[in-house]
Amino acid sequence: MPRKKKKSPDAVPLAVIKRLPLYHRYLTMLAQNDVERISSRELAAKMGITASQLRQDLSWFGSFGQQGYGYRVKDLLGEVSKILGLDRQFQMIILGAGNLARALVSYPNFRRRGFYVEAIFDSNPDLIGKQVNGVTIKDVKYLSEYLQQHTVDIGIITAPASVAQKLADTLVAGGVKAIWNFAPIHLKVPRDVVVENVQIGESLLTLSFRLQQQERRKS
Amino acid sequence: MPRKKKKSPDAVPLAVIKRLPLYHRYLTMLAQNDVERISSRELAAKMGITASQLRQDLSWFGSFGQQGYGYRVKDLLGEVSKILGLDRQFQMIILGAGNLARALVSYPNFRRRGFYVEAIFDSNPDLIGKQVNGVTIKDVKYLSEYLQQHTVDIGIITAPASVAQKLADTLVAGGVKAIWNFAPIHLKVPRDVVVENVQIGESLLTLSFRLQQQERRKS
DNA sequence: TAGATTGTTAATCGATTAACAATC
DNA sequence: TAGATTGTTAATCGATTAACAATC
């Protein structure tokens, strides 16, 4: 007999996890517009998904609605925020002081949501000691030392692919459990370390393929 | 009776498309290391997928291997490059001259693969007229005019979400058929325009959730 | 030739959608 | 109360994996 799928928060499918930030974004917008209640049907329509999927997704985490009424926007936003971990703070450091690092440090939404960039590391002597948006650029050779003295929740790798694995190893050795990786490389890390990749280059290739496909379709 | 799934290049599932850049990356690495041949089993192992999936994916586009031998790395790389459209050039413009734009313009791999940034547009008078990596920043009010006079394959939106839809509309009106969108907003475009989103903020929220999940698992 | 490996068909698995009893 | 809408179970759909005949 087929075993029933268990709905522990531990087993949430990745596809569901990836939609959580979306829910958060739309609920935030609704809350800003002072919308008090919304049904799964209405919210799903706005997001371009089905109401079934929305309710199925939420059911992984609990029951947040009310039959015949729908969801209180404020309450649901609170729940989703809690699920995403936005009720706490995250200390972050960035490895690689290039333009991408600058862009990330300057993104105001991060700080507002509890994500703090505490330091930037680089190996270029011209950059070390300078500040970016109030954050000091330190010499990467002091990275291990820094990790011993500070709590770092998230390590962000914006350095070139050639040094990314080495940096990741240093982060892992220093006890960092989450890596946000922008380098075009598959990082090897222990099973208890989570890696989230932002593969910008690959996204462009996907676009290029889909553009070609579209052009072919036309002709 | 269930209809057989047609394998036209037009119907390639998005999941397959998203893996194509991966294949390209690994094959490029192999070619650089002068590896001449590889079996689906070996390549799949390197990539952390199954050999079945690799062969299944490739079969959407043709037959590139040889029984009992495997694949010639160079040939397969060539085929994948062609599939991705890397045998041609793409003219691109960037809308929004912030740090992210700087990062993209400076990324050497793009130019090498045929992706050319021809112009950057912004509305900030302090930036207009300046150059970034040899690319001039123009006033966004001349965007429509520019689109009439130049062929633009890909429009890149790095501007804030508040103006992203308006910029997308201008691109579409100017005949641009592909948009690479970094703004945290769902762009509404006609069906014949392809949009590829890079949702950096949402990626961080996904990481934050997975970190929490991991921490919970531990305790 | 014999061994290896492809391309493809069939089986399995998982995710999405539909349906509906429960109930506000 | 009657209508609306949830949470959940069942049905469908699509993607991944397994198996194997074809063949280099």
Taking the CA of residue B136 and the C1' sugar atom of nucleotide D14, their distance in angstroms comes to 47
CB spacing of A198 vs B200 below 8 angstroms: yes
**3-state secondary structure string, A52-121?**
HHHHHHHCCCCCCCECCCEEEHHHHHHHHHHHHCCCCCEEEEEECCCHHHHHHHHCHHHHHCCEEEEEEE
Q: Which residues touch strand C (CB under 7 A)?
A: A 13-16, 49-50, 52-53, 55-56, 66-69; B 39-41, 51-52, 55-56, 58-59, 63-71
When pLDDT is averaged across residues B58-63 and rounded to a whole number, the result is: 97
Residue A5's pLDDT is what? 52
Quickly state the pLDDT bin for B4 (edges 50, 70, 90). Answer: very low
User: What are the chain B neighbours of A186 within 8 Å (beta carbons)?
Assistant: 47-48
Backbone dihedral region for residue A33 (phi beyond 0: left; psi -120 to 50: alpha; all else: beta): alpha
As a whole-number percent, the residues of chain B with pLDDT over 90 amount to: 92
Q: Is A206 exposed, middle or buried (0-12, 13-18, 19+ CB in 10 A)?
A: buried
Q: Which of B119, B117, B198, B192 is nearest to B164 (CA)?
A: B198
For chain A, the average pLDDT equals 95
Q: Which of A60, A58, A88 is nearest to A75 (CA)?
A: A58
Residue B2's pLDDT is what? 35
pLDDT tens per residue, range B110-145: 999 999 999 999 999 999 999 999 999 999 999 999
CB spacing of A211 vs B84 below 8 angstroms: no
- C19 nearest neighbour residue (CA to C1'): A52
- Whole-model pTM: value is 0.95
When pLDDT is averaged across residues A85-108 and rounded to a whole number, the result is: 96
Decide if pLDDT at B5 tops 60.
no
Å between A185 CA and nearest CA of chain B: 9
- Determine the Cα–Cα distance for residues B64 and B91; give it in Å rounded to an integer: 30
Quickly state the pLDDT bin for B217 (edges 50, 70, 90). Answer: confident
As a whole-number percent, the residues of chain A with pLDDT over 90 amount to: 92
Decide if pLDDT at B91 tops 90.
yes
Which member of B17, B199, B209 has the closest CB to residue A83? B209
pLDDT tens per residue, range B144-188: 999 999 999 999 999 999 999 999 999 999 999 999 999 999 999
Residue A1's pLDDT is what? 33
Residue B138's pLDDT is what? 98
Count of beta carbons in the 10 Å neighbourhood of residue B65: 19
Among A101-110, A141-150, A172-181, B210-219, the least confident range: B210-219
Residue B209's pLDDT is what? 97
Contact A206, B115 (CB under 8 A): no
Decide if pLDDT at B16 tops 80.
yes
Residue B160's pLDDT is what? 96
Quickly state the pLDDT bin for A7 (edges 50, 70, 90). Answer: confident
Q: Is A18 exposed, middle or buried (0-12, 13-18, 19+ CB in 10 A)?
A: middle
Point out the nucleotide closest to A37 (alpha carbon to C1′): D5
- Determine the Cα–Cα distance for residues A26 and A44; give it in Å rounded to an integer: 10
CB spacing of A48 vs B186 below 8 angstroms: yes
CB spacing of A205 vs B86 below 8 angstroms: yes
Residue B31's pLDDT is what? 98
Decide if pLDDT at A3 tops 90.
no
- Determine the Cα–Cα distance for residues B69 and B61; give it in Å rounded to an integer: 19
The chain B residue lying nearest A48, using CA atoms, is B186
Taking the CA of residue B56 and the C1' sugar atom of nucleotide C8, their distance in angstroms comes to 8
Type of residue numbered B101: A
Three-state DSSP class for residue B112: helix
The bases of strand C with some atom under 7 A from any protein CB are 2-9, 14-19, 22-24
Contact B141, B122 (CB under 8 A): no
